[in-house]
Amino acid sequence: LCVLDLTARRPLQLILPASLQHLNTLRTLLLRRWKLCGDISIIGRLSNLEIQSLFGCAMAELPMALVKLSELRFLDLSGCKGLSKSYTEVVARLMTLELKEIRGPNAQMKALEGNEEYYD
């Protein structure tokens, strides 16, 4: 399995199953428009993940475990709601990887993306 698209037509609650970590060949994970409940740090165990979309998701925080994704090239946080301000720390650490693009949840994020000093 290379692509897993779990896009919701309307916001519903989702708890990621522990079995997700066994999808070792997964390269694209699309979790769009969900109310993510519980611990989502399991995503950090998907070592081959290149594309992660959390578009329109509601979640309390962006897990630091994402920084383990050395193959990650694209992260979409557009339209995310409820993120604590600490998500910018996770994004800063992700920028040390060879990410091609990060789409932020708001204008503040976009301002940070252009600030190279912020990521040093």
Mention every residue, 6+ apart, whose C-beta is less than 8 A from residue 101. Answer: 73, 74, 75
**pLDDT, position 117:** 34
Domains, the chain: 3-119 (3.80.10.10)
pLDDT digits (tens, 9 = 90+) for 32-78: 999 999 899 999 999 999 999 999 999 999 999 999 999 999 999 98
Q: Under a CB-based contact definition with an 8 Å cutoff, are residues 78 and 93 in contact? A: no
Q: What's the pTM value of the predicted model, to 2 decimals?
A: 0.81
